[in-house]
Amino acid sequence: MILILLLLASSLLVRCQTTPAIPLAVRSPYLQAYMDKHTGASVPNTWPNFWTTNHPLGWSGLLRVDDVPYEWLGSAVEGGLNLTSKVTVATLEDITITPTRTVLSLTAGPMNINVTFLSPIEPSDLVLQSFPFTYIYFEASSNDEKSHSLQVYQDISGEWTSSSTSNVVQWNTTNSSSIIYHEVQRSPFQYMTEENDMAEDAVSYHVTTPVSGSGVTWQTGQDVLLRSFFLNEGILNNTQDKNYR
């Protein structure tokens, strides 16, 4: 019955900027990320939170338009970055929310940006339904009918894997011609453990599919170093940091 009700609700649409919380990744009790507007922070210039607590989830979204840096998710620009240019927060134009997706419509200078967060319902395929994944689509178009260069950046932190920043996490990145995926988990690995409603025995994945000619680059390391390097240079170094912390 619940599944039927969800399917019947799939035509519902909310388009507003006054909703108290914006769902981004909602796929299981342990994969629930929202932008909480109760704090008074402006969207998208705020960190997502885990659903039952004020535990922030490090999830940074940055971009460069014609070498000019912008932020489209998170609040990375407010602390510790070593930048050569001032970062502007992308302007939120609209929010669209359905039962399975949230779309942020943004403006970054001469570019219109749509970021779609999709948490699908797969009633016809129980295997797909069992995957606790959320998909992110990024679309950009010129708003002045001119050509522009664009680089997009996204990262996650160990806060997705543990409710406490004092816990050590370890990670690994696998890079091939068809997929790049980053995985992070508690170290040492925890078995059947939950703290503050978060699964401490989980593995978090951050995945992309490289498109031929797109120039996809990747890197693992300290958040402020990677974010600063991208905002200044527009690329990453394709290297792994094994200094687990």
**For residues 227 and 208, what is the distance between their CA atoms, to the nearest angstrom?**
18
Contact status, residue 140 vs residue 147, Cβ threshold 8 Å: no
**For residues 39 and 78, what is the distance between their CA atoms, to the nearest angstrom?**
16
- 174: tokens are 């696998």
pLDDT in tens, 91-130: 999 999 999 999 999 999 999 999 999 999 999 999 988 9
Q: Which ranges of the chain have pLDDT less than 50? A: 1-11
The pLDDT of residue 5: 35
Burial class (CB in 10 A: 0-12, 13-18, 19+), 32: buried
Edge-to-edge order in the sheet of strand 135-142: 14-15, 91-97, 101-108, 111-118, 135-142
Q: For residue 11, what are the contacts with CB-CB under 8 A and spacing of at least 6?
A: none
Residues in the chain: 245
46 three-class SS: coil
- Can the peptide bond before residue 188 be classed as cis, meaning omega within 30 degrees of 0? yes
The pLDDT of residue 39: 55
The pLDDT of residue 50: 93
Give the predicted TM-score (pTM) of the model.
0.88
230 three-class SS: helix
pLDDT in tens, 154-163: 999 999 999 9
Q: For residue 244, what are the contacts with CB-CB under 8 A and spacing of at least 6?
A: 168, 169, 170, 171, 187
Structural domains of the chain ordered from first start? 2-233 (2.70.98)
Other C-beta atoms within 10 Å of 56: how many?
A: 18
**For residues 63 and 141, what is the distance between their CA atoms, to the nearest angstrom?**
14
The pLDDT of residue 13: 57
Cα–Cα distances (Å) from 116 to 21, 42, 105, 109, 195, in that order, read 16, 18, 9, 20, 30
The pLDDT of residue 78: 75
